[in-house]
Structures are given as C-alpha cells and as structure tokens.
Amino acid sequence: MKKISFSLLAALMLFNFASCKKDEAPKTDEPKAETEAPKEDGKMDCSAMTAEVIAKKVADPKAITKDEYAAVLETMQCCKIDEKSFAVDKNSCETNKALDQLKKDGAKLPSLDSVAAQLVNNDSPIVRAKAYESFSGLFGANKQDLTIAKDAIKNEKDPFALQALVSGLSNAGNKDADVAKFLLDMAKHENSFVRRKAAIALGNSWSDKVEGAADAVIALMADSDENVAKLACSGAGKLNDEKVIEPIVKILNDESKEKLHGECVRGLAAMWLDYPSHKNHTENAYKATMDYLKKTPRTNKVPAWNAIASFNTVAAKEIDRWKSEATWFKMDEFSAVMTDLIKDDNFNWLGKSPAMKAIAAFGGKAELEKIKSVVDGLSDQKVKDAYAKELEKAK
C-alpha cells in the first residue's frame, strides 16, 4: 500500500507541473502603449500621466472624438487642488497642459455637456466637478439631461465637487424646486467655499422667486467667512426684496464691519439703480444709501470709498426711462451728497473721482460744471486735477 501511494503522489505532482506550464501566458518584449498609464488596483498611475502621454490619447487633434475628450478629462484625477483658492492648481495640472497643446495642434474640443454623462460617476471629485460645469446650460441652449443633475444633487458629498455643482446650477433656482432646495441647503454647508458659491447663486435674479432665498442671503451676510459675507451683501439687492435693506443698514451702521460696507452699498444700488438694465427703482434702498453717505464725521474708511463706484456708471439708453419711473430721484439732492464727499478732507481721496463721475453719469457735463466753484475753493490740488479730467471727459 505504501508503494502504491507514493507512485500516485508522484503522478499527481507531474500532472500539476505540466498544467501550470501550459497555462502560463507567453512572454513578450512589446512595450505598453504610451497612451495607457499602468494601473494599480484599478486606479490610474498618475506618475505616468504627463502632458505628452495625455495628449496622445487623441489620435488626430483636428478630429478629436467625444470619447477621446472624455478620456483626456478623466486624467484630471491626477491634478491637485490648491487649498487656498480651492481650485485646480493649473500650473501643475498635466491635463491642462495637454489641452493647451491639443489646442495649439488645431483641436476643436467637443462641448463639455456632450461628455458630462461619462464623467459624473468618476471616483475623482475633480473630474466630477468638471462635469458639473456643463450644468450651467441645463435649462438653456445645451439641454443637458436633467436626471444627471438630479442624481448629482442627491449623491454628491465632496466639498470640492459640491462647490462646482452649486456654480453649475446657479442659474436654475427659479426653474426647478429640487435645485432651489439644493442651493438653500448649500448655504448652510460647513465648507466656506461651498457657501461662497451658494451666496452667488442665491444672491441673484436667477433666484428671486426662490422661497427663502432672501432669508438665506441675510444669514450669509453674517457669515464668519468674510468672503461669504461680502458676496451675500453685494448679491442681496439682486433679489429686489426690501427684506434685505434693514440687515444691510445694520452692517453699514457698524464701523467694525467697514470691510463689508462697499459690497453692502453695491447690494443697495442693485435695488434702486440696477445697472445696466435699470429695471429696479426701490426708494427705500436709495434712502438707505444716501443716509450712509451723509453720515459724519467721515473717516478714511467710512463711508467706504469703493462704494461710490456702484453708481458712477449708467446705461445711456435706459437711464432716461429709469428717471421717469424713479420719480423720487432728485438730481440736486444726489449731486449735493456727492459734492459733500468731494470737499470733505476726511473722506478717502480714492472715492472723490468716482463721486465726480457719478454726478456726470446722472446729469452730464452741465451738472458737473455746477460744482466748479466748490472745487476751485479746495486746497487739495489732486482733487482739482481729478475734477479737470472728469470735466474734460464728461458729455
């Protein structure tokens, strides 16, 4: 029995050896294609993703296909995010370098919305963010599939991708209830960059019919992130809801928040001047603006000199209609406020030329000439020189 068992064992060993040799893949010295990066556990080997390798994913730059374009964009997973700006670091992103080279080689890239469906489920938030950029045409010319956006709203969790998704859907708040709710939710997101994009999306005429948009923007005006607060202040007026006036005035009355003042006045101006369409003419917003500019004593920071730029330009074709509708606007009163700023030594000099431009914008050269005696009586030669230049440019 022992002899038979030994013989049987030897036979089995020989059979297994022969089977292994038979199943071995034939060896080859053929190199791997340069367009394909080696992968580990199904992931792209980013160390091999140079701009040259990426560009070779396209057979003919002058006839680039949608699949080739999608393949190029998928390599963005190898790009890095600049943490300070929360944007793709363009200087080190090999994909961007490859795209630049393809364009130099005559490539006419397909539309982004044509490849979005291939990118939205990518494991990389950078790649998904690229797809979300295409959603800006969702209800417009591009007619992107709405179901893709709805799936993204439900499933996206990554902050970098979310801020891109908010931007991509920022013009759709009035058009879709799910989008509106998503934007409102993002206004409360823990990531400040997401809230910044939400402030832009909600503080806009695209969201003026979204229930709760004004309240969300008011909350963002008090955000701990100064950039979020600035964006909310400047966009608040675009909703043309008088509910935002009181919170803006509260900020304007707080000198410790002077860094927000310029943007807050911009928000008010959107309600009473609304350049360049001049459709809004809210008297209370105008009064709040003038009250802020009239307050004394003035300092180098308050009122904010950059606030004046909000109304030193008007659209010539629309302003006469606006004046006929904004019956409360009085040129004499407006000019008097601007003139008082110009002659006040405490007011920041950088705001004086814009104040002159504002007078000329609303009243033309004739109104600007009316304050000549005031300017001539000033001791500041810089102001006199600025006046001479503005007078020369006025019509």
**pLDDT, position 144:** 58
- Of the pLDDT bands very low, low, confident and very high (cuts 50, 70, 90), residue 138 is low
- Which residues pair with residue 39 across a beta bridge? 44
Residue 139 has pLDDT above 70, yes or no: no
Query: What is the CB-side half-sphere exposure of residue 53 using CA atoms within 13 A?
Result: 17
**pLDDT, position 264:** 98
Q: How far apart are CA 290 and CA 273, in angstroms?
A: 13
- Which residues pair with residue 82 across a beta bridge? 87
Q: How far apart are CA 278 and CA 53, in angstroms?
A: 52
Q: Decide: 167 and 134 in contact? Cβ < 8 Å.
A: no
Architecture of domain 135-239: Alpha Horseshoe (1.25)
Percent of the chain with pLDDT over 70: 87
**pLDDT, position 137:** 73
Residue 28: DSSP 8-state: -
Which residues make up the CATH 1.25.10.10 domain(s) of the chain? Answer: 135-239
For the ranges 67-76, 143-152, 189-198, 360-369, the lowest mean pLDDT is seen at 143-152
Nearest partner of 163 among 205, 135, 123, 121, judged by Cα: 135
What's the mean pLDDT when you consider all of the chain?
Answer: 89
Q: How far apart are CA 278 and CA 262, in angstroms?
A: 20
Residue range 312-330, pLDDT digits in tens: 999 999 999 999 999 999 9
**pLDDT, position 14:** 42
Q: How far apart are CA 95 and CA 393, in angstroms?
A: 47
- Which residues pair with residue 43 across a beta bridge? 40
Q: Decide: 93 and 76 in contact? Cβ < 8 Å.
A: yes
| Helix (H) or strand (E) run with residue 331 in it | helix 331-343
Residue 351: DSSP 8-state: G
Mean pLDDT, residues 103-111 taken together = 94
- Of the pLDDT bands very low, low, confident and very high (cuts 50, 70, 90), residue 2 is very low
**pLDDT, position 30:** 34
Nearest partner of 156 among 120, 109, 180, 117, judged by Cα: 120
Please, what's the b/e burial string for 54-70 (b: 16 or more CB within 10 A of its CB; e: otherwise)?
bbebbeebeebeeebbb
Nearest partner of 105 among 51, 147, 48, 67, judged by Cα: 51
For residue 379, how far is the Cα from the chain centroid?
44
Query: What are the φ and ψ backbone dihedral angles of 39, each rounded to 5 degrees?
Result: -120, 150
Angle, helix 283-294 to helix 245-252, in steps of 10 degrees: 0
Q: How far apart are CA 28 and CA 244, in angstroms?
A: 72
- Of the pLDDT bands very low, low, confident and very high (cuts 50, 70, 90), residue 75 is very high
- Of the pLDDT bands very low, low, confident and very high (cuts 50, 70, 90), residue 12 is very low
355 by DSSP, 3-state: which? helix
Q: How far apart are CA 75 and CA 46, in angstroms?
A: 8
Residue 26: DSSP 8-state: P
Q: How far apart are CA 297 and CA 347, in angstroms?
A: 9
- Tally helices (H) and strands (E) across the chain: 20, 4
- Of the pLDDT bands very low, low, confident and very high (cuts 50, 70, 90), residue 374 is very high
Residue range 176-225, pLDDT digits in tens: 999 999 999 999 999 999 999 999 999 999 999 999 999 999 999 999 99
Residue range 255-305, pLDDT digits in tens: 999 999 999 999 999 999 999 999 999 999 999 999 999 999 999 999 999
3-state secondary structure 235-263: HHHHHCCHHHHHHHHHHHCCHHHHHHHHH
**pLDDT, position 91:** 84
Residue 3 has pLDDT above 50, yes or no: no
